[in-house]
């Protein structure tokens, strides 16, 4: 992959310094190890047959057609064409939370989003960016040209989580906005009532879109490493409560487990990819493991 500097102006490179070009590093490592697209297999709607030619995957041969005609035909899938991707970023105030790690939830999300942008542009797939809080805030239209890497990374680097959030409303708006089958990659802590959010995810899925949910929490939100009396503050309403951490821990951990399990179970039912992450996980390894597994399923 050509050096990113070829596509970015010096001032833009400075703007994205906090991304540390980690995204390019992840993608280079991934592409060196694997030659097939990790996104092959998305939106695989059968369209027609064509004659088998050298280089086609023998697994795609339609043996029923062979039995009737004594000739090899392969099923042609829509996935052989490019797929349009949208990176949907949650700008809610809670995404700024950081307890003990270098990266906030939002910083962590931008690193993964940047890597996926590199990857899609590398394989000539258009990719765009959507930001949302209580509703959609901004849309960067999808493009597949190399300059889009600079456009997306520059935009990501200038974003700051600050808004109140309504994930369900925002995703419903996105579903109404999309006119063609797309790959929607959602980056959020999903700190809201799961039911309306799940309904909006199902709406996207039923609209013919592939959906990946990157559910990003801080490690402290997963492990609750607090002792004694602690004050908890809602980053959006600024409401504060004081709790006895030792007495509260068991109930909290059970609740967070059930919260994530609900998303895992319901997303699986709707054939939505659910990727639970926390900020203690090296994001390059987490993304690589997901992409490899996605490629193996395709």
Same domain, 49 and 188: no
Indicate whether 129 belongs to any domain.
Answer: yes
> What is the 3 state secondary structure string of the chain?
CCCHHHCCCHHHHHHCHHHCCHHHHHHHHHHHHCCCCCCEEEECCEEEEEECCCCCCHHHECHHHHHHHCCCEEEEEHHHCCCEEEEEEECEHHHHCCCCCCCCHHHHHHHHHHHHHHHHHHCCCCEEEEEECCCEEEEEEEECCCHHHHHHHHHHHHCCCCECCCHHHHHHHHHHHCCCCEEEEEEECCCCCHHHHHHHHHHHHHCCCEEEEEEEECHHHHHCCCCCEEEEECCCCCCEEEEEHHHHHHHHHHHHHHHHHHHHHHHHHCCCEEEEEECCCCHHHHHHHHHHHHHHHC
Domain termination site, one of 54, 79, 104: 79
By CB atoms closer than 10 A (0-12, 13-18, 19+), residue 276 is middle
Are 1 and 27 a contacting pair, CB within 8 Å?
A: yes
Q: Where in the sequence is the domain holding 52, given as residue range(s)?
A: 44-79
Per-residue confidence (pLDDT) for residue 237, from 0 to 100: 67
Same domain, 60 and 114: no
Same domain, 16 and 161: yes
Indicate whether 191 belongs to any domain.
Answer: yes
Same domain, 71 and 53: yes
Same domain, 56 and 111: no
Same domain, 60 and 149: no
Compute CA 18 distance to the chain's CA centroid, rounded to the nearest angstrom.
19
Same domain, 206 and 67: no
Question: Within a 10 A sphere around the Cβ of 136, how many other Cβ atoms?
Answer: 18
Per-residue confidence (pLDDT) for residue 218, from 0 to 100: 96
Q: What's the token pair of residue 233? A: 């503050």
Same domain, 73 and 112: no
Per-residue confidence (pLDDT) for residue 242, from 0 to 100: 82
Indicate whether 221 belongs to any domain.
Answer: yes
Indicate whether 236 belongs to any domain.
Answer: yes
Per-residue confidence (pLDDT) for residue 241, from 0 to 100: 80
Same domain, 261 and 119: yes
Same domain, 69 and 98: no
Per-residue confidence (pLDDT) for residue 136, from 0 to 100: 97
Same domain, 113 and 217: yes
Indicate whether 50 belongs to any domain.
Answer: yes
Indicate whether 38 belongs to any domain.
Answer: no
CATH number at residue 221: 3.40.50.410
Same domain, 21 and 109: yes
Beta carbons within 8 Å of 10's beta carbon, 6+ residues apart: none
Indicate whether 68 belongs to any domain.
Answer: yes
Q: What is the mean pLDDT of each run of 10 residues along the chain (298 residues)?
A: 39 43 50 47 46 72 76 60 88 92 89 85 89 96 90 88 92 95 95 96 95 95 88 72 84 95 96 93 77 63
User: What's the structural domain count of the chain?
Assistant: 2
Indicate whether 233 belongs to any domain.
Answer: yes
């Amino acid at each position: 992959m050509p050096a990113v500097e070829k596509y970015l102006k010096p001032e833009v490179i400075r703007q994205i310094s906090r991304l540390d070009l980690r995204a390019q590093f992840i993608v280079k490592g991934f592409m060196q190890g694997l030659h097939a697209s990790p996104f092959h297999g998305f939106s695989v709607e059968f369209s027609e047959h064509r004659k088998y030619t050298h280089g086609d995957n023998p697994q795609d041969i339609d043996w029923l057609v062979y039995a009737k005609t004594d000739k090899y035909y392969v099923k042609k899938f829509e996935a052989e064409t490019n797929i349009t991707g949208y990176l949907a970023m949650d700008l809610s105030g809670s995404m700024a939370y950081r307890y003990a790690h270098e990266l906030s939830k939002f910083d962590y999300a931008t690193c993964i989003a940047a890597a996926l942008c590199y990857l899609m542009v590398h394989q000539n797939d258009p990719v765009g960016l959507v930001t949302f809080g209580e509703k959609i805030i901004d849309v960067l239209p999808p493009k597949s040209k190399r300059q889009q890497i600079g456009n997306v990374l520059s935009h990501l680097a200038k974003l700051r989580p600050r808004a109140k959030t309504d994930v369900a409303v925002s995703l419903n708006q996105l579903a109404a906005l999309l006119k063609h089958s797309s790959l929607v990659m959602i980056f959020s802590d999903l700190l809201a009532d799961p039911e309306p959010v799940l309904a909006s995810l199902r709406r996207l899925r039923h609209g013919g879109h592939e959906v990946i949910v990157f559910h990003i929490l801080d490690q402290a939100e997963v492990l609750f490493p607090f002792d004694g009396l602690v004050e908890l503050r809602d980053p959006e309403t600024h409401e504060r409560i004081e709790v006895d951490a030792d007495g509260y821990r068991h109930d909290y951990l059970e609740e967070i487990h059930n919260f994530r399990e609900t998303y895992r179970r319901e997303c699986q039912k709707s054939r939505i990819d659910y990727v639970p992450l926390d900020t203690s996980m090296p994001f390059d390894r987490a993304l690589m493991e997901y992409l490899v597994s996605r490629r193996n399923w395709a």
